[in-house]
Structure 1
Amino acid sequence: MVRKPSMGRQKIEIKRIEQEDSRQVTFSKRRAGLFKKASELCILCGAQTSIIVFSPAGKVFSFVHPSVEAVVDRYLSGSPAAVVAGGNVSLIDAHRGVNQRELTRQHTELVHQFEAEKKKGEQQQQLKKANEQNVPWWEGPIENLGLHELERLQHHLDQLKTRVTNRADEIMSRAPFFPQMNAMNSIGMPDHHYETKPNPNNPAMVPRAYGFGYGGYAGYTDRNMTGGFY
């Protein structure tokens, strides 16, 4: 069986990306890769590097080793960098490089935090806009919510469910147990007394009475035959 030749890794055509979102994603990935390669070059070869990149949105990103001043001065003057015995970069420049890398890392983290806060603010604006349109907060859009926002929303929904259940139980506990009897007492039943006697010729007719301390009803248990109020 003849195996088909592998297509291998396809070459990507280098041209401007027209779609704005795809262009921004590609810039972020390629920028990180560029800085990583520059860092490896500095570590492996001891190269002095300065990279400044402006994004399509106008944001600036940089990677420098050991410092901007050292790289620019060396480029403008055309003189070699100061070295010590053994051919190593001067301690001052090395110290500057460490500080610059730390500042670059902090800057990157701040940019990520800013982007996260910006996204969070946009989501809150969407919820606020939904509230202004008289839409309940639990029916607001959730398509753009992140995991943290979804967990908070679920927590609030659980709290609302518990409150509704407790309120329903409270209302049910206050409901009258004998609504018909209370209605009879509220309209004031006349206090009439009817004398009823069992039929000696019919032992199945047994007198019964309901009182509960409110006045009540008396009669006989015999199919549909009953007595009167007392």
Structure 2
Amino acid sequence: MGRRRIEIAEVKDPNTKQVTFSKRRTGLFKKANELSVLCGAEIAIVMFSPGKKPFSYGHPSVDVVADKYLRKKRRSNVVRANVRENNASNEVGDRLSQELSIVQVHTEEEHKKATELDMREKEQEASQFSQNKELLQSSPVLQRMVEDYVDAVEVSECMLLLAKEAVIGIPHRPITKRRRRN
């Protein structure tokens, strides 16, 4: 069937939107990688999925490119002809700085959540270990109790076999020899 043109419009279905985002994201990152390799460009891409998860790509890294962009020192011998361009680039720099700080806040929050989950997991492992240890320690005690019970049952069986008279209320019948009839 081949490739065909699609209309560029927002996708309404959330599942389709997520799938489209994932495919387009990998394509965009691939193109950015090719551009950086072919042209030697330094590239940084930061995007948020429909589920509000951050994704980034950078060559050599997002931090290096963002720092270079945000903290670039203006050379004194270069004169800007247009003041609007300077203001626009400052606005873009400010906006990117704000977005970067938002991404950093999200990253810190996720790091805190991960640390908390790790602590909970370690606590659960410790409690399971102590429970397993208690079971292991109680195992010999239970084993000994079962052995004692089995011994008591064996003793009771032997006592019943050795008794001359029935103990449980079964009447004692004298043993008589029966003759066979031919």
Task: Normalising by structure 1, report the TM-score.
Answer: 0.30
The structure in which a higher percent of residues are helix is 2
